[in-house]
Chain A
Amino acid sequence: MTSVNNPILSVQGLTKHFPGGREGLIGKRDVVQAVDGVNFEVAAGEALGLVGESGCGKSTTGRLITRLLEPTAGTVTFEGQDISHFSNAQMRPIRTQLQMIFQDPYASLNPRHTVGTIVSTPFKINKVTPEGGVKKRVQEILEIVGLNPEHYNRYPHEFSGGQRQRIGIARALALRPKLIVADEPVSALDVSIQAQIINLMKDLQKDFGLTFVFIAHDLAVVRHFAQRVAVMYLGNIVEIADRDTLYATPKHPYTKALLSAVPEADPDATGARERIRLTGDVPNPINPPSGCRFRTRCWKAAEICAIEPPALLQIGKTQVACHFPE
C-alpha cells in the first residue's frame, strides 16, 4: 500500500463486528460485519472523502476513528499513537485534537443548553481554559462559523437547520483540533443551505490547516470538498484515489455505477451520459457474499470473484480492489 507523506491518521486492518440476533435457544449469535479490514491514511491538512451507500460502514469507520467505538480488530494510529484500545481517560487528551461533526443538527445539540454552554462544553470536559477566558473564546468561534456572538445565550430551537449545523461545527472547533471527522454534515439540510456549510468548512480547512475525514453518500458533495476520495461497499474500501482521478476515470465497477446513478441537474447532460443500472439492493452485512462483496450486483463478475476477495492494489494513480478493473 502506498502511503501518504506525513500521515496524521493511519488506519490498518480496521474491523468492527456488531453482535446481531441469536438463532434458536443456544444458537450462535449473528455477526454484523459493519467494517471489515479497512486500510487508509490521511495526510495532515488534507480532506479525505469517505463515500458509499447505506450499510457500507462509512459512519462506523468515522466512529472508530474518533474512538466513539472500539475496533474489533486492526489499529487506528493518530499522530503516531495507537489509540485503538485507549480507555476514556487515555482518550481525553486525544479528544482535544480529534473532533466530530454529526449529521442531524436537531438531534446532536442538547435542547436545554444555550449555544454558549454547548460550545464551551469541550473546554469544561477537558479542563482547558483558553486565553482571555471561555466566554471570549466561544464568542470568537461563533463569529468564525458565521453566527452572531451575541446569540451566546440562545437555545438551539431558536436557530434554523443551517445555523444549528454551524453550532455543531463551532463545538467541534472549540479546542482547535487537528482532525475533524464530519459524518454527513450537510445531508439533513435544505439544498440552498448545503453550499453555505460546505463553503464554511472549506474556509476553515484552509484558515486553520484542519484535516478532515468527510463522510457522505452524495458523490457531488464529496467532490466539492475532498481532495482524496475512498469509496466503500459493504464494509470494504473498493477504491481510493485523488479526486480528479477518481471522478474522471473510476476503476472499480461500483464506483462507475455510483457515479452514473447521480442525477444531474441538466437535461442535456442526462441524456449524454453512459448509464449503468445496478440491479437489486446492497446485501445483508450479516452474511456478505463470498470473495468480492460486490459480485452479486456486478456485471463483470466471474468465477474468481466468488472465490477470492480482491486485494486493494495500485493501478496507476488509483488503489482498487477488483479482479477486473476498468
Chain B
Amino acid sequence: MLKYTLRRVVSGTLVLGIVSAIVFAIFYILPSDPARLACGKSCTPELVARIQVALELDQSLPVQYGRFIKGIFVGRTYLENTDAARECGAPCLGYSYQTDLPVTELLVDRLPATLSIAVGASILWLLIGLSSGILSALRRGTWIDRTSQGFALAAASLQIYFVGLILQFIFVDKLAWLPMPGYTSPFDYPLDWAKQMVLPWVTLAFLLSAIYSRLTRSGMIETMGEDFVRTARAKGLSSRDINLKHVLRAAMTPIVTVFGLDLGSLLGGAVITEYVFNIPGLGKLSTEAVTNLDLPVVTGTVLFAAFFIITANIVVDLLYSALDPKVRLT
C-alpha cells in the first residue's frame, strides 16, 4: 500500500513535469513575443532586445525550462542585476510582469474562493444527487422516480451560464434576497461569505446533482439485480438493511470515483461558474490571464489544475482499494 502510494506520487510528479514541459514548449513556439508585450506603447527594437535579455528569452528552451523548474524548488530572482530586480520565493511558478506579482502569490490569493465554491457545491450536490437517486431507485416506476429523473434530465441538459444568470436575475435583481455573488473571507464575515456563495453553490450543484442522481439510481438498480442481493433477502434481512448495507454499499464505489475526479478538476478552477458570477477564483484568474496573454500566469494555473487532477486520481485509486477488497494495489 505504502509502496503503491509512493510509486503513484513519483509517477504523478513525473506527469506534472511532462505537463509543465509541454506548456512551456507551446508558449515558446507561440507567435506572441512576451518581450514585445512587456514593452508597452513607446517601444523600440532596441528596448525589445533589452527586455528579451532581461527576461532571459534569449536563452534556449531547455535552459529556460531548467531555470523554471529550479525556481519551483529554490526560488529565483527575475531581472537580476537590473534596478528592477524581482524576488520570487520558492515555490516559484514564474513572475507576472503585467500584475507585477509572483504567480504563486496570485494563485494562493485566488485559491480560497475556488475552494469555497468547490467544497460547498460538492456537499450540496452529493446530498441532493444521492438522496434523489436512492429515492428514485427504491421507488422505481412511481411518480417520485419519474419526477426526479425528469428533473435530472432537464437539469443535466442546462448550462451554468444560463441557469446562473437566471437565478441571479430572480434572487438578486428582482427579489433582492441575496447580495451580488462574490467572495469575502469566511473567517472575517462568515454570513456574507455564505450569502454571496449561495448562488454559485446552487447553480453548480443543480447541474452536477442531476448527474449524480442518475448515476446513483442506475447503480442502485443494477445492484438490486445482483445475486448477492437475492442472497441477502434469502437470509431474512430487512429491506432497510438490504438497501443500505448491501445495495448502496456496492453501488457507492463508482460514485466515489467520479466524485473524486469531479472535485479534483473543480479545485483547479470552476471556470464558467467563477466567470458568470464574477468570483475571484482560480478559474477567473486563468480566463483573465488567457485574455491578457499573461503567459506565466497561464502556465501557473495550468500546472495548478493538473496538480489537483493528478492528486484526485491518486486519492480516488487509494479510496477504491479501501472500498473494494478485490482491488489489490501493486
A25 within 8 A of partner (CB): yes
Residues in chain A near residue B6, CB distance under 8 A: 25
Chain A residues 3 to 52 lying within 8 A of chain B, measured CB to CB, are: 21-25
B3 within 8 A of partner (CB): yes
- With both chains docked as a complex, state the minimum distance between the C-beta of A228 and any C-beta of chain B, in angstroms: 40
B interface residues, tally (CB under 8 Å): 5
* Majority DSSP secondary structure for residues of A touching B: loop
- With both chains docked as a complex, state the minimum distance between the C-beta of B4 and any C-beta of chain A, in angstroms: 8
**Interface flags, B1-28, vs A, CB<8A=1, else 0:** 0010011000000000000000000000
Whole-angstrom distance between the alpha carbons of A21 and B6 in the complex? 19
Report the contact-size class of chain A (Cβ under 8 Å from the partner): under 10
Whole-angstrom distance between the alpha carbons of A54 and B130 in the complex? 42
B42 within 8 A of partner (CB): no
Whole-angstrom distance between the alpha carbons of A24 and B330 in the complex? 6
Residues in chain B near residue A25, CB distance under 8 A: 3, 6-7
Residues in chain B near residue A24, CB distance under 8 A: 3, 330
When C-beta atoms are compared, the residue in chain A nearest to B7 turns out to be A25
- With both chains docked as a complex, state the minimum distance between the C-beta of B110 and any C-beta of chain A, in angstroms: 38
Whole-angstrom distance between the alpha carbons of A174 and B330 in the complex? 46
When C-beta atoms are compared, the residue in chain B nearest to A23 turns out to be B330
- With both chains docked as a complex, state the minimum distance between the C-beta of B51 and any C-beta of chain A, in angstroms: 48
Residues in chain B near residue A22, CB distance under 8 A: 330
- With both chains docked as a complex, state the minimum distance between the C-beta of A317 and any C-beta of chain B, in angstroms: 47
Whole-angstrom distance between the alpha carbons of A47 and B7 in the complex? 52
**Interface flags, B227-251, vs A, CB<8A=1, else 0:** 0000000000000000000000000
Residues in chain A near residue B330, CB distance under 8 A: 21-24
When C-beta atoms are compared, the residue in chain A nearest to B3 turns out to be A25
**Interface flags, A222-237, vs B, CB<8A=1, else 0:** 0000000000000000
- With both chains docked as a complex, state the minimum distance between the C-beta of B186 and any C-beta of chain A, in angstroms: 42
Whole-angstrom distance between the alpha carbons of A22 and B6 in the complex? 16
Whole-angstrom distance between the alpha carbons of A23 and B330 in the complex? 7
Whole-angstrom distance between the alpha carbons of A21 and B330 in the complex? 8
Residues in chain A near residue B7, CB distance under 8 A: 25
Whole-angstrom distance between the alpha carbons of A324 and B330 in the complex? 42
Whole-angstrom distance between the alpha carbons of A215 and B281 in the complex? 65
**Interface flags, A84-109, vs B, CB<8A=1, else 0:** 00000000000000000000000000
When C-beta atoms are compared, the residue in chain B nearest to A24 turns out to be B3
When C-beta atoms are compared, the residue in chain B nearest to A22 turns out to be B330
Chain A residues 148 to 163 lying within 8 A of chain B, measured CB to CB, are: none
- With both chains docked as a complex, state the minimum distance between the C-beta of A196 and any C-beta of chain B, in angstroms: 31
- With both chains docked as a complex, state the minimum distance between the C-beta of A31 and any C-beta of chain B, in angstroms: 16
Whole-angstrom distance between the alpha carbons of A172 and B330 in the complex? 42
Whole-angstrom distance between the alpha carbons of A21 and B7 in the complex? 16
Residues in chain B near residue A21, CB distance under 8 A: 328, 330
Whole-angstrom distance between the alpha carbons of A135 and B7 in the complex? 58
Whole-angstrom distance between the alpha carbons of A114 and B87 in the complex? 73
Whole-angstrom distance between the alpha carbons of A224 and B150 in the complex? 59
The 7 closest A-B pairs by CB, nearest first: A25-B3, A22-B330, A21-B330, A25-B7, A24-B3, A24-B330, A23-B330
Listed in ascending order, the chain B residues whose CB lies under 8 Å from chain A are 3, 6-7, 328, 330
Could you list 9 A-B pairs, sorted by A, with CB under 8 Å? A21-B328, A21-B330, A22-B330, A23-B330, A24-B3, A24-B330, A25-B3, A25-B6, A25-B7
